[in-house]
Structure 1
Amino acid sequence: MCSNHESMRGVSVMEGDSVTLYTDLTEIHEEDDILWKYGAEKSLLAKISKMKQSFNTSDGPDGRFRDRLKLDHQTGSLTITNTRTEHGGVYQLDIKGVKLTTKTFTVSVYARLPVPVISRDCSSSSNCSLLCSAVNVGHVTLSWYKGNSLLSSISVSDLSISLSLPLEVEYQDKNTYSCVLNNPISNQTQHLDITHLCHTCAESSSHSSISAAVGSLLIVAAVFGIFCISMKCRKTDQEVIHTSELEMFSSSSMQNTRSRIQIQGVETGKFRDQGLETDTVQTRAEEITYAEPAFHKRKAQNPKIKEEDQVEDQVEDQVEYAPVAIRR
């Protein structure tokens, strides 16, 4: 059996799309067996036996091809659906029939490209300094163009890396500039608007000043509010203390007044019953209900009044009596 080994073919695909590896056969002959292999280990992915009418696929050694492989029963071509970057690599096709034919495919799976972002670098005050950037990209080239002319570019072959490329232009520049991110199968372009972007730093500075002023006013208002609340609380505390002192004074005065009234009542009873019994003072249990006393300013006392009259005058000067209910 003679053999025929063709040169390697390169195939590129966008991540998420499908890619088909062709056998270049119009149909599979009865005596043909077709094998599809993957990677340096040449893991078997698919096998076709026309004579046995068998068309089998596998998930690969680590399952990365599960539910992604399809075989064309007429030509034997292999299709990989919903591709991911992990599906890139070397694929080998062996066709065993009248002769042995081997083909090799190198598949490159590229991630979808984001649109590059152009920003103003406000740290430079001379000309308009710009920065074009792209994040989480791999196997790409980032370039600045002036019209259709390439100004500068940077390339990277790693996966998931961030790129940035500077550019400096004059404020009055009227040329057309664009930043382009591309890989072998696609590109994304961002055009530069000099009039708008080259004045953002001045606007940002103005907005920052206004924001700082507003923030200062808010802080002053907050401090003033806290001071007012604190003063109100102090005033309230002083009122509570003053009220408590008045209540204590009122209660103490009332107790003193009631004690004097009881003494006066006992002495009066003694004088009334003196004619009946000399040594014994008879009192009756009486229930007396008083209204709340009213306080008045104390009058000047006459030193010539007897001691008993002083007690009565002091009580009368201090207490204004309401009607008294007596229960026997």
Structure 2
Amino acid sequence: MFVSKRFASILLILCGAFIFAQTDEIKTISVMKGDSVTLHTGVSDINRDIQILWLFGPENPDTLIAEIYKLKIFIHGSYEGLKDRLQMDPQTGSLVIGNITTSHSGLYTAQIMTDTVTIYKRFSVIVYAPVPLPVIESSSLVSECQISDRGFSCEDCAVKCSAENGPGVSLSWYKGRERLNQTSSPELNINLSLPLEIKERHSDVYHCVAANPISNKTTQFSFQQHCPQYTDSIPFCGCTEAVIRLVISALVGVAAVAILVYDIRSGRVDASPQTNVRVK
């Protein structure tokens, strides 16, 4: 008889068949994968007349996962290994989820029942994986190269930053504290990529940041590592093709000038009048 009444009570609760009910707004909680999170009921001290049910669902909280009834705690078999991660505070009925995973993101609802009223506490839990470390590499863009007394040099630097995409992940370039650009994508199966072209070498510090709502990782840009400056016909930062073209053009030009000078000199010699010498 005890089991039947208790089962009927749970069915009525799940169906929302209570006249006097108070429902809080949904509270959003962000947590890192592998961490623990506590969902608080707001109850300071449970007595035998209070019953609390915890329900969960990725989109709708329709699965009973834990309860406290007449001061006894019950943890139920449930969604994707959640049972082994659950604990309930015997004094407050708050739910503790340990070593949480991304598959446990979803909606959690506590139904707190007395003889006269039912109170609903609702939580949206979002579990994020650790944000990936961004990688900086030379871009396929060709930088501008210049010729000077010291030889050839490339002053521009074209690089790109990339990182594995994930829920809530964004990728940004910063110059000091100033954000230069940012990208993100809902397509989680593709990597994020963000180009940057630096026109001048100066003392400003550039860095690329991958971030989600609860974590971030930074990779510092280094001219020496990512865009080393070379001279004397040695290109850097993607300007090899431009330097080769400059060298070839210069050689062709020198050869053309030499041929032209030779032709002019030869023409002058052939066209000069010959002097007749008489022998007396």
Q: TM-score range by the shorter chain?
A: 0.5 to 0.7
| Alignment partners' CA distance in 2, 1:94 and 1:125 | 63
**Alpha-carbon distance change, 82 to 6 in structure 1, aligned in 2, over 3 angstroms:** same
Q: Which has the higher strand share?
A: 2
Listed one character per residue, the Cα deviations across residues 249-303 of structure 1 (whole Å, up to 9, x for unaligned) are: xxxxxxxxxxxxxxxxxxxxxxxxxxxxxxxxxxxxxxxxxxxxxxxxxxxxxxx
Q: Aligned-pair distance for 1:18?
A: 1.0
Equivalent position amino acid for 1:199 in 2? P
| Alignment partners' CA distance in 2, 1:203 and 1:158 | 34
Alignment pair present for 1:45 and 2:65 = yes
Listed one character per residue, the Cα deviations across residues 188-237 of structure 1 (whole Å, up to 9, x for unaligned) are: 111111233112894799xxxxxxxxxxxxxxxxxxxxxxxxxxxxxxxx
Equivalent position amino acid for 1:57 in 2? I
| Alignment partners' CA distance in 1, 2:228 and 2:27 | 50
Q: Pairwise mapping of residues 53-202 of structure 1 onto structure 2 (< 5 A)?
A: 53-60=71-78, 62-97=79-114, 98-126=116-144, 127-199=156-228, 202=235
**Alpha-carbon distance change, 113 to 42 in structure 1, aligned in 2, over 3 angstroms:** same
TM-score scaled by length of structure 2 = 0.67
For the Cα contact (< 8 Å) 1:92–1:105, is it kept in 2? Answer: yes
Q: Secondary structure at the match of 1:156?
A: coil
For the Cα contact (< 8 Å) 1:46–1:56, is it kept in 2? Answer: yes
- Counterpart in the other structure of 1:6: 24
Equivalent position amino acid for 1:111 in 2? A
Equivalent position amino acid for 1:42 in 2? D
For the Cα contact (< 8 Å) 1:137–1:161, is it kept in 2? Answer: no
| Alignment partners' CA distance in 1, 2:165 and 2:211 | 13
Q: Among all aligned residue pairs of Structure 1 and Structure 2, give the percentage whose two residues are the same amino acid.
A: 38
TM-score scaled by length of structure 1 = 0.58
Query: Which moves more between the two structures, 149-158 or 181-190?
Result: 149-158
- Counterpart in the other structure of 1:256: none
- Tell me which structure has the larger Cα radius of gyration: 1
Instruction: Show structure 1 runs of 5+ residues with no match.
Output: 206-328
| Alignment partners' CA distance in 1, 2:30 and 2:77 | 22
Q: Aligned-pair distance for 1:173?
A: 3.1
Listed one character per residue, the Cα deviations across residues 9-65 of structure 1 (whole Å, up to 9, x for unaligned) are: 00010011111111111111221000000111510011111x2x32011231x4331
Q: Secondary structure at the match of 2:164?
A: strand
Q: Aligned-pair distance for 1:138?
A: 2.8
Higher normalized contact order (CA 8 Å, seq sep 6+, divided by chain length): 2
Q: Pairwise mapping of residues 282-321 of structure 1 onto structure 2 (< 5 A)?
A: none
Equivalent position amino acid for 2:108 in 1? Y
Q: How many residues align?
A: 202
| Alignment partners' CA distance in 1, 2:202 and 2:117 | 67
For the Cα contact (< 8 Å) 2:80–2:103, is it kept in 1? Answer: no
Instruction: Show structure 2 runs of 5+ residues with no match.
Output: 1-18, 145-155, 239-280
For the Cα contact (< 8 Å) 2:44–2:92, is it kept in 1? Answer: yes
For the Cα contact (< 8 Å) 2:210–2:216, is it kept in 1? Answer: yes
| Alignment partners' CA distance in 2, 1:142 and 1:70 | 37
Q: Which has the higher helix share?
A: 1
Q: Secondary structure at the match of 2:127?
A: strand
Equivalent position amino acid for 1:23 in 2? T
Q: Aligned-pair distance for 1:170?
A: 2.6
| Alignment partners' CA distance in 1, 2:199 and 2:224 | 11
**Alpha-carbon distance change, 196 to 137 in structure 1, aligned in 2, over 3 angstroms:** same
For the Cα contact (< 8 Å) 1:58–1:65, is it kept in 2? Answer: no
Listed one character per residue, the Cα deviations across residues 117-144 of structure 1 (whole Å, up to 9, x for unaligned) are: 1111154132211101102433211111
TM superposition outliers: structure 1 runs of 4+ over 3 Å? 157-161, 200-205
For the Cα contact (< 8 Å) 1:37–1:46, is it kept in 2? Answer: yes
Q: Aligned-pair distance for 1:146?
A: 1.1
